[in-house]
Structure 1
Amino acid sequence: MVAHRGASEDAPEHTLAAYVKAIEDGADALECDVRLTADGHLVCVHDRRVNRTSNGRGAVSALELADLATLDFGTWKGRDEAGESPDWGDPGATSVLTLERLLELVADTDRRIELAIETKHPTRWAGQVEDKLLQLLDRFGLAAPAAPEESAVRVMSFSARSLHRVAEAAPTLPTVSLTQFVTPRLRDGRLPAGARIAGPSIRIVRHHPAVILRLRQAGHQIHVWTVDEPEDVELCVRLGVDGIITNRPKQVLTQLGRL
């Protein structure tokens, strides 16, 4: 079970608070999106711009890490009727989160936590995102697992080009091809070159379960996003998917009988 942007229903997405909560809730893996700042740091931010999730404005790619560090990525979440935000604990718990800091958090955890890292595209930085990502994973000893099934990290993307870059540079690192709509390739049970795992949306699973069965018959693992409703969890279990990505890790784990 993968915590989508951390325990993002309960805490501000992509913040240290959200990922600590996901680990406490028992998540097997943490999902994050990564973007490259103007000065070459990978940060965990979903949108191209910071407007929605922070008290600042502007594109991540046009801002330096020091600029992002001045912003608050948490006060918008969970405000009460008086406009007060919850206390997320550590003062840095809702600051911009670098991928490096997230990797440190996982390394310091006393149980195995996997990471599902999504590269966002299109981007002004072309292949630099993948290059920086693999360099950082290499620093943590995560870029070259002995075999894909032994890896604690998988790289996800909607971009086939991104996955191809990763697969060429790190052949044993698992890659997930994210898909929002059914394509002829998907109907045939095929994935783009360089992709090892299918990543269909829950919408595909609901409306085209035959596609999921075809992917399974073709021997592909299937990781579904974003699965929050109990009936969707049940459907994924019935279809035998390999990974459930959710904003509600605690609720899903409870439903699966693991808590």
Structure 2
Amino acid sequence: MQHHTTAFLPLGLFAGALVSGSALADATPLEQQLKDLESFQVIAHRGASGHAPESSMAALELAHAWGVDYLELDIQMTSDGELVAFHDDTLERTSNGEGHINDHTLAELKDLDAGSWFNEENPELADDTFAGAEILTLEEVFNRFGQDARYYLETKSPELNPGVEEALVRRLEAYDMIDTGRVLIQSFDQESLLKIHDLNASIPLIQLVWYYPDENNDERLVEWTGVTPGPDEITDADFQAVADYAVGLGTNYLYDGEPVITEDFVEQAQENNLAVHVYTVNDADEMQHLLDWGVNGLFTDYADRLIELTE
């Protein structure tokens, strides 16, 4: 079940997909996925992570049952080369483990309890079945949802996960997730995205950006990795440089409660063939505000709230 608003982008977005209205019936699944990015996407941030432990099977099952457009997960590598869905570089916040996730084997990670922390932090949402939740491998996620879901996967901290791009592309090809239009790959690390692009140019990519005030001049916004100038200084050429390899931009909306992007920024990105996905929006009024701007998708811990607004 898909939930779309009526806000559509100018025709010609993702022209590379070469899909016109009349040709849509003959569109490949990958072309259809790119076409769908022109309308609004509900992106379940680490699953239904406002309701269940983030990146757990319970959180993914719930979001999937609601009919979200994408299940969003961060992909990291174990010391023995397995791919797992886990956000932080270290284990302490969302498990009873210690240290860097990449220093542990899959077997060591599987022994951890990645659910009880949620019950302790959210007593009103606590559920005994969350206790003992396992850190999931990417294969477990694919084996559970297969072609019935779309996946929005982040190459997380590539400098700590050397080889993650090759391993990820291999898994995506093995599970036939690319030509079937099932996956987007996102990263803050431009080099990581370009590696993915070199390995398989068919995979649609999302360049993540984070805008915040320059520490030497808080009137001026800068981008965390320097992949673009700040929103006040960004040009069509800057957007086009991203559109050379990516189909979209994933951006924050607020920094310290203050907006860092405007409706004009969204429109300019779209005019340069980039979808705009905003992370991580949990407040219904903020969701509605961004919907009114015509953004192409929102990452949220509460996909149920967003679906209510977009139905």
Q: Deviations over 1:135-156 (max 9, x none)?
A: 111111123x2xxxx6210000
Q: Tell me the CA shift for residue 80 of structure 1.
A: 8.0
1:222 and 1:242 in contact (8 A); partners too:
yes
Give the 3 Å change call, closer, same or farther, for CA 80–37 of structure 1 in structure 2.
closer
Greater displacement, 245-254 / 187-196:
187-196
Task: Report how many residues are paired.
Answer: 246
Q: Which ranges of 4 or more aligned residues in structure 1 deviate by more than 6 Å?
A: 80-84
Q: Which residue of 2 aligns with 1:35?
A: 76
Q: Tell me the CA shift for residue 207 of structure 1.
A: 3.1
Q: Which residue of 2 aligns with 1:246?
A: 300
1:168 and 1:194 in contact (8 A); partners too:
no
2:247 and 2:273 in contact (8 A); partners too:
no
Give the 3 Å change call, closer, same or farther, for CA 11–81 of structure 1 in structure 2.
closer
Unaligned runs of 5+ in 1: none
How is 1:219-234 mapped onto 2 (pairs within 5 angstroms)?
Answer: 219-234=273-288
1:7 and 1:19 in contact (8 A); partners too:
yes
Residue type of the alignment partner of 1:250: D
Give the 3 Å change call, closer, same or farther, for CA 168–248 of structure 1 in structure 2.
same
1:119 and 1:162 in contact (8 A); partners too:
yes
Give the 3 Å change call, closer, same or farther, for CA 83–68 of structure 1 in structure 2.
farther
Give the 3 Å change call, closer, same or farther, for CA 79–132 of structure 1 in structure 2.
same
Q: Which residue of 1 aligns with 2:235?
A: 188
Q: Tell me the CA shift for residue 61 of structure 1.
A: 0.8
Q: Tell me the CA shift for residue 197 of structure 1.
A: 1.0
Q: Which residue of 2 aligns with 1:165?
A: 195
Q: Does 1:16 align with 2:52?
A: no
Q: Which residue of 1 aligns with 2:143?
A: 104
How is 1:18-97 mapped onto 2 (pairs within 5 angstroms)?
Answer: 18-79=59-120, 85-88=126-129, 94-97=133-136
User: Aligned partners of 2:56, 2:291: CA distance in 1, in Å?
Assistant: 29
Sequence identity of aligned pairs in percent?
Answer: 28
Please give the secondary structure, in 2, of the residue aligned with 1:142. Answer: coil
2:158 and 2:192 in contact (8 A); partners too:
no
2:76 and 2:161 in contact (8 A); partners too:
no
Report the TM-score when normalising by structure 1.
Answer: 0.87
Q: Which residue of 2 aligns with 1:176?
A: 206
Give the 3 Å change call, closer, same or farther, for CA 217–101 of structure 1 in structure 2.
same
Please give the secondary structure, in 2, of the residue aligned with 1:38. Answer: coil
User: Aligned partners of 2:122, 2:83: CA distance in 1, in Å?
Assistant: 35
User: Aligned partners of 1:82, 1:106: CA distance in 2, in Å?
Assistant: 29
2:187 and 2:207 in contact (8 A); partners too:
yes
User: Aligned partners of 2:265, 2:96: CA distance in 1, in Å?
Assistant: 41
Please give the secondary structure, in 2, of the residue aligned with 1:78. Answer: helix
Q: Tell me the CA shift for residue 240 of structure 1.
A: 1.3
Report the TM-score when normalising by structure 2.
Answer: 0.73
